Copies of this chain bind each other. A is one copy, B any other.
Amino acid sequence: MDLNDKQIQILETAEKLFAENGFDGTSVRQISKAAHINVAMISYYFGSKEKLLDTLMLYRMSDFRMQLESVISENKSPIETIDTIIALIVKRIHKNRRMHKIINFEYSNGCRNIDFDHYLRQKKENFKIIEAFVKKGQNDGVFADNINLNLLTTTILGTYFHFYYNKKYYQALLNLTDSTIDTYVHNELTLHIQNTIKALLTYEK
């Protein structure tokens, strides 16, 4: 995948608009106008509006798995590692939040002609790594046994995304500006998710 500057400019403009207005809510003319290019360039470079989205997904996917494995292999205490993993996850999805929003929406709408294989494969790989780590902690007696492993990441990602989707609501509630919300995410929100998951992992009912 080698993309020139103009292609990247189109991709990032499209990402912003798709996340703001949805895929169907964004027209190719909007994209071309915002990216200061001619409408035909989209078909010329990517083939179609849908293939543009395919390319965007590939463009944003990369080396998350390696980062995850690196954190685990450092062999700190399980609790410390959990903290680091969660901070890493939040940092990653927050950075790529726009693309994740598009994926969430388009993936839950069965019918589109978009290729989610790459996304799903990566999702499953990441899950397996975290699953193995937690199971090891359970065997060592550090983590509780009565945990639904499949839903652990659901809570991590779900908390973040629900916050992000209701950004406007929380901004009003917490008196956050567009510039302070990032620090809130990396401090309070991350801390809340860390506490939640650590509590769950060490909770014996």
Assembly CA distance A167 to B161 (angstroms) = 15
Q: Which chain A residues (82-116) contact chain B, with CB distance < 8 Å?
A: 101, 104-105, 107-111
Q: What 1/0 mask marks residues of chain A from 137 to 151 whose CB sits below 8 Å from any chain B CB?
A: 000000000111011
| A163 cross-chain contacts in B, Cβ below 8 A | 151, 154, 158
| A21 cross-chain contacts in B, Cβ below 8 A | 24, 109, 111
Assembly CA distance A170 to B162 (angstroms) = 18
Q: Within 8 Å of chain B (Cβ to Cβ): is A33?
A: no
Q: Within 8 Å of chain B (Cβ to Cβ): is A192?
A: yes
| A107 cross-chain contacts in B, Cβ below 8 A | 165-166, 168-169
How many A residues face the partner with a CB closer than 8 A? 53
Q: Which label, helix, strand, loop or mixed, suits the secondary structure of the A interface? A: helix
The reply to whether B148 and A154 form a contact with Cβ atoms under 8 Å apart is: no
What's the least CB distance linking A155 to chain B, in Å?
A: 5
| A146 cross-chain contacts in B, Cβ below 8 A | 195
Assembly CA distance A110 to B151 (angstroms) = 30
Q: Which chain A residues (147-191) contact chain B, with CB distance < 8 Å?
A: 147-148, 150-151, 154-155, 157-170, 173-174, 188-189, 191
* A residues apposed to B, CB below 8 Å: 20-25, 101, 104-105, 107-111, 120, 123-124, 146-148, 150-151, 154-155, 157-170, 173-174, 188-189, 191-193, 195-196, 198-200, 202-203, 205
Nearest first, the 8 closest Cβ-Cβ pairs linking A and B are A158-B162, A199-B203, A158-B158, A24-B24, A199-B199, A24-B25, A158-B159, A151-B192
